[in-house]
Structures are given as structure tokens and as C-alpha cells.
Chains A and B, each alone.
Chain A
């Protein structure tokens, strides 16, 4: 009645063998053509073989969807009629969407700054410490937790029990209650609730910032630091005027990486508040518009706004990398 194990495996195995043989044949054919071709053709062939597949995947997986999204942002909700800039006017005039844009800006400013600053501090403080590994592992661990997992954990931290006769299961409110302070419904008080959500992402990203910055600090030559010490520079001056300038490039990379990650934040908001209570951000609203309300036009518009928001950051990042390369 049911398929045996072999009956299930056999078709897949056959497919595997066929694809392996096909792959081998193509490679063999390429080498055959390569060995017969003239030197000039060999150059072109090299570009074709190495760039071709990557270009094709980029075209299918990135460029085409990007162009299509831009096109859809000028169409109505089922992508049937051209509506001009109506969707963009909608995005910048509806009060609910203005809150979304405002929140995204708050996220993008606060998360990279806080995570990088805290990460930098921990990296510097543990730089010459004994058993720094333990501290660093602890700080890095949240990085290994998925966003949704972290959100569920923090939901329990912020949880609020309206009925005073029932046990409080929220960590912060249990502390509040223990101290005799009125429990707060943390996720309900705008604009602070956005900050409480931001703490979750900072908690996750600090470990990332710390590890990268710590590695960069290890590359700062001891002689330079020693020279500064001999010159009588205080710890603070050694940090701000020796270490920090020497790892500046890495700091920029960390900042931009986290900024781009933050622009896309979605899981945390969706899991913890569902975008309610004025905590919504672009990525969540984009998803809700496109896939819950099937309004592809407005969803795509938000995607394009997000895309335009990322461009300056990428541009700055690339410029910074170029500068660094010329310095060396």
C-alpha cells in the first residue's frame, strides 16, 4: 500500500546520477572547447564560464525582482492599472504610514549606534582581560538565537498581568511588584514601546559588533599602544586617539552592516506587537500590505522606499572600503 524505502529513494537517486553525469558532460565539453579554441577566444570563454552563472543568478534573483517591484509600485493593488505616484502620495500622507516611517528612522538611528557603542566598550574592556572568552561568549550568545526566539523571550520579560490577584510572569513587572512599584504594560506605551523593542535587537546585535571590533583591536600593533603609554597618555586618550582611529574602517563596516539589518527588521515587531500600538515599521507594513491585504501596489511602494533608504548606506560603505584600500 505504502511505498517501500527503496521505491522512495530510487527516483531521487536516478535524478542525482543524471544531474551528476550532465554536469560532468558540460565541464568536459567546456574543457574540450577551451583546449581547441584560440587564445583570444579562451579569454572570452573564461569570462563567460566564470561570470555567466553568477550574472544569470543575479539577473533572475535580484535585478528582475527589483525592476518588477519598482514597476508594481506605480500600479494599482492587483498590478492591473497604472496609477502614477498615487502609492507614494499615500505612503507619505496617511498618518498611520507616517508613524511607520518615523519608527523605522528611530530604529535605524538607535540600533546601530547603541549596539556598536556597547560592543566597542565590551571589546575594549575585555581586550587585555584574563578569561575574556567567558564574557565574550556570554555577550555573543544572543546572536545565535533567532529573532523570533528572542522576541518570545523578551515578551516574557515585558509581560503584564492586569489582574493583581494572579501571579506576574513578566520578569520586569515581577521586579516592579516586588519593589512595590506599579506594574507597567511596557509594550503599550508609545513611544517608549518602540524603545523596548529596540532593546531586543541591540541585545542580539551587540555580540556581533563586539566580536568584529575585538578582532580588529587585536590587530592594533602593541608598539603603538606602548608608545602612547610611555608618552603618558591616559586610558581614555589611548582609546579615543590611538585604538579608535586605527580600527575606524571596521567600525564603519559594523555600523553599516547593522544599519542595513535594522532597516529590514520585521520578525521582532511582528512577533511582539504585530505592528500595533504605534510600533509598526516599514518591513512589517510592507508584508501586511502585500500578503495580508493583497495590495501589491502599496506593498511594493514601501519596498522601494526601503530600497532607496539602503542606497546611501551602501554607497558610503563602498566609498569607505575604497578609501581604505588606497591608504594601504
Chain B
């Protein structure tokens, strides 16, 4: 309902500004060319009502900017909705091109000379491969990133100290999804340590709950297995320290080190435990989005997945995101923090997207700059199901309680580390790490054999 109302008002604003713009259109177009120095004053007078906020991006009417991305329906709809005021005021058309095969196709498109204007890289590791083709950030973009993001985030968008891509969305992975109603009905308490989590799982199995303690799904087309790598990373941050995590990421500690073996063993305590999870190999043929559906319909009690899952469960499985205290909502879902080894250990694992430009046209730069503005980040977050690491993002605009918690985790985490598989070289991070974790689950491949096989694919140089 909330969405419906907002969309109506948005449409109203849109039609109004279109009408205003067509009236003011001629004047604005005339001014745009010859007022390079005093753009501010001149365009302000010619600008339609409500468009003052877009003064920095004016002068590119009629241009089309393609954004190539992995983000598809239903998430893409909200992005397009958030661009409407920008498009109406600036006359720039943003063409959203979502493709799940982005990771493969981007290389094909760049090599083939048909690179998109803007690409949303889901992995900062990919940036390095394209640093020769990407346009380095303009002074304005660099300034905006400096003000609106932490140094860590800027660093992730840079290659060898040069900023190429601006952060877009963020996600926090260290969540366990559960149904507050199911927990309340069965009298379970939220665990605060890894031991408590395992004890609770045993308790669920022993009790009369009609379902499994855990559910999981790692199928994702050609990217099958990534969901299992998240488990490894979260536990790596908990059972080893941050330095070990970094050493693991850059392979200064080999992938088949005993420390990694220990962590894989801990992950197996849940993922490969048929008592907790039911049919273990079937995890490999259950899609990552369907994996969490069990929490909504009561066929399982817990599901570990990043914050983005809320949008999918709401959109496709009829769930409602509720606060932990709302224990009477049927189909209500909430999250608790994936616990550390001890209660005072609260590391956060996250990820994010980065917008890089392959084209230095002013319209493209304007869109890239706009996406780093607190204005857009707040407007986009207010549409729901999304948040960003933008420091100008006000948690009051993050309606979703889960995402509000995620923003707080991002701001407060003592240790924050980026998704390891996103930072590892493609052969591992988008290759053997996925396929071997899949084999670990689907074919019951032994722990040591899995780690040895991954280490064997680590590129020599």
C-alpha cells in the first residue's frame, strides 16, 4: 500500500515537471550552450520548478546514458523509479540494461568496442581488469566521493591509487533471517555466540518444530556456489583475525592452510549436517532466492543470507519485514546478527557495487556524479529494500528495519571486511571457489580436497 501511494505522488510530480519543462524547454536549451562560466545563475532562472536540486547536472538534454549492470527485475524497477525526477529535469534518459551474465559479457563488450557508458561492477576485483579502459574519476566526482564515503570505500573503487569507480549500493552479509513469530511460538531465544547458535539448532531438531533448523540454497545459474562462499567468509572473520583474513584474500596464506580447513569444518557443522538442513546435496539445486523462502512458510527456522534477501522474500514470497518484537505477524521475517565466537566480537562482512564510466561524455559524468549525491541516495533508500554506504544517508529514510540495522552495522563495525571472493582473482573468486564449494555440498567432496583444488587454481603471478 505504502508503495502504491508513493508511486502515485511520484507520477504527479513527474507529469507536472514534464509540463513545466516543455514550457521552459526552449529557454533552457538556448542557455545551456553559451553559459559555461555562470551556469548556476542562468539555468536557475530558466529551470522548471522543483528542478533546482539538479543544477549541477544540467546542459545535457536529449542524451541517453546506458547503465550496464547485474541488477534486474524486481530490484531494477525501483532504480528506474528513483531516476524519474533526474531524467525529467535534466532531459537525460537513463537506459537501464540489467544482465545476469554481466561478469562475462562486460569483458566481451569492452574487448569488442561496444563498452557501456556506465557499468555497475558488482565486484571491486573486476575493476582492475578494466582500469585501462575506464575513465578516471573527474575532480568533481573525486570530491563528491571524498565527502560522501569513507576512505575504505574510496579505496575499493580505486586501482593503484586512482579512483575509477564510485560506490553505489551496499549490502551486509552477516545476517541470519528468521521469523519472529516462529521463534516466539517455540520459545527460542536469539543466540549471541556461535556455540549458542549450534545449541539452538540442536534444540530445534530435538523439539517438535515441523521443519528443519536451517535452510540454504546456492544455485545461481553460472554463478552457482557464491552463497556458500559467503558462509566461509563470515566464519573466517570470526574464527580468524582480520589480518589472517587479508592474508587469505591475497594468498599470502595459502587457501589450503590448516586455519582455512578449521573454518571450512565449522561451516560444515551446519551446511553439511543433514540433521539441521535435511537433504544436503539439494542445496546445490535450490536457488539462492528460493533458499530463504522456507523461513517465510515455516519449513525451516533460520537462513543465513545478506540484507538484499529481504526485497526478494517480500517481492516473490509474500513476506513482510518486521521488527524483532512484532511476534504476531504471519509471514513476518526479521534478522539477527550472525553471531561471533564470543558475544563481544562483532565483525561485519559486506559487499557493494561500484559505478565506473567507459565514456567521458558530460551526460555520463553527470549521471555518475548524481549517483554519489546524498539526495539521490536518500531518495533511493526511501523507496525501500536498499541502502548505501553514503555518509549523507539518513537512517530515518531507511524505512526497512533490517536495512536500518545494516546501515548501523556498517557505521559501527569494529572490523569491516569486503566479500573475500569479490577481491580474489577471477580464477578463484568467480571460478574455483564457487565450483569447489558447490562440489563440497553436492558431491560431498572432502574438506582438504576442496581447499587443495582451490589453491591449485590460484594464478602464479
Contacts and interface: CB of A to CB of B under 8 A. Distances in A.
A295 interface: yes
Given A77-B459, A160-B285, A276-B224, A188 B442 contact: yes
B281 interface: yes
B74 interface: no
Contacts of B361: none
The 9 closest A-B pairs by CB, nearest first: A162-B282, A162-B279, A291-B104, A293-B426, A293-B427, A293-B431, A276-B438, A274-B224, A274-B222
Nearest to B279: A162
B438 A94 contact: no
| Secondary structure dominating the interface of A | loop
Interface of A: 1-2, 77, 94-96, 160, 162-163, 165-166, 185, 187-188, 190, 270, 274-278, 287-288, 291-295
B435 interface: yes
Given A278-B443, A292-B103, A294-B426, 12 more contacts: A77-B459, A94-B456, A160-B282, A160-B285, A166-B299, A185-B285, A275-B222, A276-B224, A277-B438, A288-B222, A292-B430, A293-B427
B439 interface: yes
A291 B91 CA distance: 36
A294 B426 CA distance: 7
A278 B294 CA distance: 28
B147 interface: no
B286 interface: yes
Given A163-B278, A274-B221, A276-B284, A96 B430 contact: no
B429 to A, nearest CB: 9
B425 to A, nearest CB: 8
A292 B431 contact: yes
A166 B225 CA distance: 24
Nearest to B111: A291
Interface string B252-279: 0000000000000000000000000011
Interface of B: 22, 25, 61-62, 91, 103-105, 107-108, 129, 210, 221-225, 278-279, 281-282, 284-286, 294, 299, 426-427, 430-431, 435, 438-439, 442-443, 453, 456, 459
B299 A277 contact: no
30 contacts: A1-B62, A2-B62, A160-B282, A160-B285, A162-B278, A162-B279, A162-B282, A163-B278, A165-B299, A166-B299, A185-B279, A185-B281, A185-B282, A188-B285, A270-B222, A274-B222, A275-B435, A276-B284, A276-B439, A276-B442, A278-B443, A291-B107, A291-B108, A292-B103, A292-B426, A292-B430, A293-B426, A293-B431, A294-B129, A294-B426
Contacts of B210: 165
A188 B280 CA distance: 11
A270 B426 CA distance: 19
B78 to A, nearest CB: 25
A88 B391 CA distance: 51
Nearest to B428: A293
A77 B299 CA distance: 46
B222 A293 contact: no
A212 B443 CA distance: 41
A292 B430 CA distance: 7
A274 B427 CA distance: 16
Contacts of B91: 1
In this complex, the member of A1, A275, A294 whose beta carbon has the largest number of chain B beta carbons within 10 angstroms is A294
Contacts of A77: 459
Given A166-B299, A188-B285, A276 B435 contact: yes
A188 B281 contact: yes
Nearest to B460: A76
A162 B439 CA distance: 18
Contacts of A277: 284, 438-439, 442-443
A274 B442 CA distance: 13
A279 to B, nearest CB: 11
Contacts of A190: 443
Given A274-B224, A291-B108, A294-B129, A96 B285 contact: no
A288 B431 contact: yes
A188 B224 CA distance: 13
A277 B282 CA distance: 11
Contact of A276 (B225, B278, B299, B456): B225
Given A94-B456, A292-B426, A187 B285 contact: yes
B293 to A, nearest CB: 9
A95 B450 CA distance: 12
B284 A188 contact: yes
Nearest to A270: B222
Nearest to A3: B62
A275 B221 CA distance: 10
A1 B299 CA distance: 54
B447 to A, nearest CB: 17
Nearest to B300: A163
